[in-house]
Structures are given as C-alpha cells and as structure tokens.
Structure 1
C-alpha cells in the first residue's frame, strides 16, 4: 500500500491522514485534500521517461541540471530531485543505473581518502559498510553525527553506500591532478561543465550523463531476506561485513570470512548535486514508505482560506524501524555503535545490541508547526501525483517518497544551519541515515547544512577532496 491515494491525476491528491503503511488508513484520505501547489500532470511526467510514456519500471532520463531555470520555484527543485531519483533507480544492464558504469561506488583507503570504484555490468563490485568513527572530513558510509548504527525490527543491520557519478569522479580527478585549480567550485554552468568533459576526453573517457552535473549519493540498505513484500523494494547484490553475534553487547567480524554477499533492499537515499546557478548543491532525500511514521505535521488544504490542518503522529501499522503502536517516548536512542578501528559493533552504555523505535522528527524536513504547512503541501502534492501515476503501471518506485530538499535562494554557499538564504526543507534528515541526529541536546535540529556548511562550494561535500585517489595518475594529465 502506498502512502498516498489519488482522486485524479490532474493534481487533486487526497491526503491519507495518518500517512502510514496500513490500507485501512488510506480510507481516511477523503477527510482532507491537500493544496496542489506543486503538481505534475501525466503529460509532463511522461517527458521524464526515455520512451515518452509512463511505463512499469520504465527508464527515466536524468534531469538536465545545466538547463535548470534561473527563474525558479521551490517546485522546480523538488521535481529536479524526484526525476534524479527515478533516473538513478531506473533499470540498466540487469540492475539499476546506480549500479551501472555511469556511477562509481566510493570506498576509503587507510588514509581516509576516497577511492572511486567503477561499476561493471555483470560483476558484484558493491562493497558496503557500517558507519565507523567519523574522520575529520569524510563520512565513510552511514550515520551522520557519530559512529552509531541501526538495526531493523527484523534484525537486519543497516548497510551504507557512498556513490558518485562519472562527472563527479572526473571533476575530482582533474582537481587532484592539478588540471583544475583547487578552488574550482562544483560546476553549475555549461562553461564549467565543458572543462570537465574536455579533461575526461583527453584521458579517453566520455560522460554520457554530463548535463546531470556532479552527483553524489549516500544509500541505506537492509538485508532483503528480512523484509516482507520484497516486490516493493529496489534491490542490488553487494558484499557486506560478516558479523558473529559474539554476545548481547558485542558483534565481531568473522576473521575467517570477514565479508559475505547479500541481496540488499533500498530503504533510503540522499540525492545531491548542483543545478544551474546553485554550486552549493541541492540536498534531497528519499525513503521507503514502510520505514517509520511521521511526527505531527501540518498541511494546507484546498479550502479558502487555506488554514493549516494537523496530521497527528500515528505509529499503528507494520514498519521496518518502529513497532506497531510504538511511542515517541524512548525512541531514537542509539543502542549500538561501530568501533572505527576494528569494525566491531558494541552496545552503548547500559544497552544491548537491539532495535529501537524510529520516527521522523521533522516530517517533510520542517518543524511540526503551522508555519511549515505550505512547504509540506508542495511535497505532499508532488509525491501524490508521481506515486499515483507510478502505481497505475505497478512500478515499484511508487513505494518511495521524497522527504524534502534544501538549497539557497541565491546560490550562495551556506555558512551556518540558520543561514537566512536557505530554502525548502530546512531541517531535512533521513530516518535511516540521520536517525539519531534528528534531535538531541548535544546536536540540535539543524538539517543538512548543519554539517555541510562551508565557505566554498566543494567544502559543502564530505566526499570531495584534492587528496582523493584520481581515476588516472597525474602523468595522464594531457594539457
């Protein structure tokens, strides 16, 4: 069952009041109708598909970031993010675009520098991990704000991947090899992109997705064998750490077989990249509809005047990270952490390695106050339209929704989480990747730019560094 029920594809989307996984909840959809401020018609949505029509598991083209309108609305950014998500999860070579040669998996060497690992059709190159202690600049896959990790109700660890597209990898290589100055920002114009395309060509590489610009992703996965309704999930094959349940307070990596292959099911993804005029990048995130319930939130109905209406917290139903009817009290408490040196999982003080209830503290990336109703309604409207149209053709991507996105109104680089230029989902987080970073006395609610603030474009990224391992050695720099 999807999170939304549609009463027409022209953008009149009925809001399922509890927004949960239970079919019974969708019956309440007729109670309220969300404002359709950010709608997408079947005609427009069809243009996203390579075939020109909406088809089950159909290939979606990437959003043209170079041609992104300078005179834009919030809806333009949310549509850009959603098209990118559907492109990344489109079929390719027996898997998905994420797992194709267009993208690299990113691993980290002993020095903490990124290594771009090429994907090859037909080979299982993915090597995902758990979150270890965070180095100064690089987050090697996983939970933000520390070494805590997460266990699903069905006892699957959450595994994390870091990825970058070929444009990103070649841009980083050009900077690492001195072909571009270290101060070069992420490309957000045709001329800036041309320099990267030309450098790649000089080294024998073509970039078929060049106008997507530099894309970086973080993904969260669970063991596919532990989820019900597997046909609702995007899956890939991967190699993950092989843990032995040594005790209730420690799991250790098996020294005889430190890693094992698994089929993994996607539960969360960050989609990040620049668009025309926005080198700070657009930061968007998506989740599977069964992950966890929302905290209280408000939306604007299609009534006049559009008085914000409350949707209360409701955890009843079958979730991946929240017990049926679970409480917000006692939720979001890390039960275990990853030892950065050994990879072992250790229980936090006074706890055992176990599940803990999870919910989205700031639904749609904004505080649960009436002031957030307008932004929430834009996201609900767009999600509702897209999910309705994907559901009609039985596309499994209908089971994922956009939580939100954030950027600046003038393309400036945000220097703080309270930068006055921030627009969109200001407290954005993903329940599977910033689980314990959503709130807390030590780490106040602050959204993406709480960690990704900087004085430079590339400084907003924890992945980018001139010290990262280049795709070709400096000697191959053919100026």
Structure 2
C-alpha cells in the first residue's frame, strides 16, 4: 500500500518505513504500513463490515434494502460493490462476466478495440474506447501507449433494456421519461494499461487481450479494426454506478490503483513540483502546470503506427484526493471533511484486510463517490449538476478515466455529464433524444445516436 498520499493528513498514525518496487517498472519509493491496525480500526467512525472478509465470501451489496442514512453508508456500499465485483468467479473477477454494450446491441461496431482472450465461450466480448469521454483526449502512459477503456452491464441493467426494447431508438425516444433504472442495475467502466515486457505487474490485476491498433486517418487518430496485437493489460481504474433503493440517480463511485498518480497539494501553483517520485502515469519532478495536458487538437499529438507509440506522454496528477476541493468556500466544509474522513477510514481498513489475504485488490483504493442528497430530486430533463442536489465527493474524477476534465467546472463530477437533460445530436441531421431518467446512462444515449449514423 502506498500511504504517502493515501493516508496522510487526516489522522496521526505511526509508520514503519519499508521500500517497495513501483509496480509498473518505474522507481523505488519509501512507503509504510500502519502500526497496530486492529486498535486503529476500533477508533474509526466508518467501519468495514466483518462479513466482507474473506473476499471470496463478500455478499452482494444491498440494493432493495439499502439504508442510506449516513455518508458512511454510501462509501460502505461502494467498497462492498468493489469487493463483490472483483470477487473471483471461475478464476476471473466477477465483473468480467458481465454483458458488454456491444453484445447488448448486437452490434460489434459499438465496441471495437480490445477483445479479451476467451476463457469460456459464454463470455461476451469487452467493449472499449481509447478516447476519454467529453474531451477526445488520449491518456498516454510513460511508455507512449494509449490507455484503453471497457464497459460492463450487469444482468439487471441488461434485462431492463431488453424487456423495454430500449436499443430501438424509436422506443427509447418514446419511453416514459419518469421511469428510472430498477434497483440492482449496475454500469461499470474500466481503464487498462498495456504492460511492457519485463514490467513487474505483481501488484496489478492483469489479463491477456487482443488489442485493436491505432492508425492515422485524415488527420485523426482512430481505431484500425483490421490490425490487432496480443498484449497483457493491467487494470488501473474502475468506475462503479449502481441503482439502490431511494436513489434512482445511482451511486457513482470510482477506484484506482495505488501507483497511478500523485495528489496535487492544496496550495500548488503552476511551478509546484507535485512529486519527487515516479508514478505509473507521472514522471518525478513534473510541475503542476505540466500535469493533465490534453493535446487532442494540437499538432503536437502524433502517433507512430509502427511502434504504436504516441507523443507527448501524459503527466497525470490527481487534483482532488477524495474528490473534494479543500479550498472550496461554497460547499459545507464540515460535510466535506466527514466524507473524506470516511473514505480514508475505509481505505485503510479494507486494504489491511485484503493484505492479510495476499490479495492483488489490496493495491486499489476508493477515490470517492457522489450521489443525491434526496433521491426524489432526480427528475427527467432537469439539471442534475446543481451542487445543492449533490453530496459526497463533489468534484469526483478518476485520474485515468477523466484525466483532462478535473479542472473543467462543466465536467468535474459524474453528474455534469451523466444527467437526464435532453440530448442534442452530434450531427444536425439526427433527431435529439428527449430528457429521460434513463439518459443517466451514456450507453443508451450513445446507442441512440449511433443508430442514426
């Protein structure tokens, strides 16, 4: 566990210094382990449930019987969901057996780029993207390779869409605007790094995959479906959105690998060196002003098709450690502090328990979660981005999935983009999508407009 950024500042904890090799082949770093963790847990206000462990027995998170009576309950749900989704089923994390959007639509064009090496014939293909949503940014790792993305839908989500025939654009457009997804529906998005030869991946979940290569076409970088490469992928991020009782907007939580990127100090200026250590997506000594730059529309963005390497490399920094701005003068600082404290407490407890199981999942942590103060505020065709509606991690971003939107006020939390407003098409010849509660899912929105192309 890398505690230099994950566990500083909120509690005074003694540490025993140790040294670990950075898992993605960067530099060594000094880190530490909490002493007397058992006694520490007793003092925490937000506690990991005992029945979550061992992880192979973690129960499914509550959906119909969710009791959202405290901030802690939402983060407990988020961690339980992560443990359950990554629980080994037939030798693989459970989430890999979920439906893909491409399979749901019966259209391989909805997801092309990353195809898993099948371990059983019933397993659907993974769907991927290489462009980050909303920015067309390409997260480029320290080796010059693009990060890839895949999406997953649980059976409740898939059955609801199938039963109502919502892959049909006409039926989606005429669907009852006030009908939300049912309790239990889950939508996931994962981010994957391509592993290089001789990289130490012992601290990552990895899987073999066939990756569709990138190509230069008409001044743009695109997927070339005719060319593929056999690679190993390392999981670096996971979004979890789940519909629970009383919250039709879903709980939106996100998790990352410990070694992804450093946290930006609250008082940082453009000249501040964010970290003196190497991270998976950050080079030691990089200043804050050089972090999270998106050259998507710049001539500096280049792809070498032969090596599949991109320039420039992205230097990633996590702007808000737990998805909240400590300098925020508008929102309730007491609530923010409690939210961040609860995440901190659960991260320490769960990771300690997983280490006793020698689990690779002990190397992942919750960045944060966001939801509505009142689920009945969730309505079709109304703005969901008003901070008066929201609570939890109000500026929540995953450093590997929303790298380039962390500082954009219009896209700096899940509900800025995932909302129920009327959706306007990317081309004037297409028909807009009315405001619906199910518009919260980009999978349905994207499928609607792609059907018109």
Shorter-chain TM-score above 0.5:
yes
Q: Which residue of 1 aligns with 2:125?
A: 126
Shift of residue 439, structure 1, vs aligned partner: 1.1
Question: What TM-score results when the alignment is normalised by the length of structure 1?
Answer: 0.70
Following superposition, the deviation at residue 98 of structure 1 comes to: 1.4
Alpha-carbon offset, residue 244 of structure 1: 6.4
Corresponding position: 1:395 with 2:359: yes
Instruction: Write the distance in 2 (CA, Å) between the matches of 1:274 and 1:324.
Output: 40
Q: Report the equivalent of 2:425.
A: none
Match of 1:73 among 70, 73, 96: 70
Per the TM alignment, residue 447 of structure 1 is displaced from its structure 2 partner at its CA by 0.9
Structure 1 contact 106–162 (Cα < 8 Å) conserved: yes
| 1:228 CA displacement | 3.8
Q: Name which of structure 1's ranges 80-89 and 370-379 shifts more when overlaid on structure 2.
A: 370-379
Structure 1: gaps spanning 5 or more residues: 132-141, 189-212, 299-311, 339-343, 470-479
For 1:315-354, what per-residue CA distance to the aligned partner results, in whole angstroms no more than 9, with x for missing partners? Answer: 232311110232111211124479xxxxx9599xxxx722
Instruction: Name the CA shift for 1:420/1:63 in 2 (closer, same or farther; >3 Å).
Output: same
User: Quick one: which of 99, 104, 116 aligns to 2:99?
Assistant: 104
The corresponding residue for 1:420 is: 388
Q: Is the 8 A contact 1:288 1:400 kept in 2?
A: yes
CA distance in 1, matches of 2:42, 2:391: 19
Residues 250 and 353 of structure 1 are in contact (CA less than 8 Å); yes or no, is this contact kept in structure 2? no
8 A contact 2:63–2:244 mirrored in 1 = yes
1:328 aligns with 2:326: no
| Partner residue, 2:2 | 2
Query: Partner of 2:207 in structure 1?
Result: 236
Give the Cα separation in 1 of the matches to 2:150 and 2:266.
30
1:155–1:226 Cα contact (<8 Å) kept? no
How many residues are matched?
Answer: 389
The secondary structure found in structure 1 opposite 2:277 is coil
Q: 1:461 aligns with which of 425, 428, 441?
A: 441
Shift of 1:290: 0.6
Summarize the Cα distance change of 1:216–1:336 in structure 2 as closer, same or farther, 3 Å threshold: same
CA contact (8 A) 1:40 1:386 kept: no
The separation in 2 between residues aligned to 1:293 and 1:15, in whole angstroms, is 21
400, 421, 437: which is aligned to 1:432?
Answer: 400
| In structure 2, distance between residues paired with 1:86 and 1:40 | 15
Larger deviation, residues 423-432 vs 412-421: 412-421
User: Aligned to 1:271, what secondary structure does the other structure show?
Assistant: strand
- The alpha carbon displacement at 1:254 in A equals 5.9
Q: Distance in 1 between matches of 2:6 and 2:242?
A: 30
Pick aligned residue for 1:187 from 177, 182, 187? 182
- Indicate the SS of the match to 1:389: helix
CA contact (8 A) 1:75 1:378 kept: yes
Partner of 1:289: 258
Structure 2 unpaired stretches of 5+: 23-27, 422-435
User: Hey, what's the Cα distance between the residues in 2 that align with 1:6 and 1:392?
Assistant: 19
Counterpart of 2:348 (choices 384, 401, 411) is 384
Contact 1:295 1:313 in 2 (8 A): no
Describe the shift of the 1:355–1:288 C-alpha distance in structure 2 as closer, same or farther (beyond 3 A): same
TM-score (norm 2): 0.73
Displaced runs of 4 or more, over 6 A: 4-7, 27-30, 108-115, 117-120, 177-180, 249-252, 466-469
2:13 aligned residue: 14
- Counterpart Cα distance in 2 of 1:64 and 1:381: 21
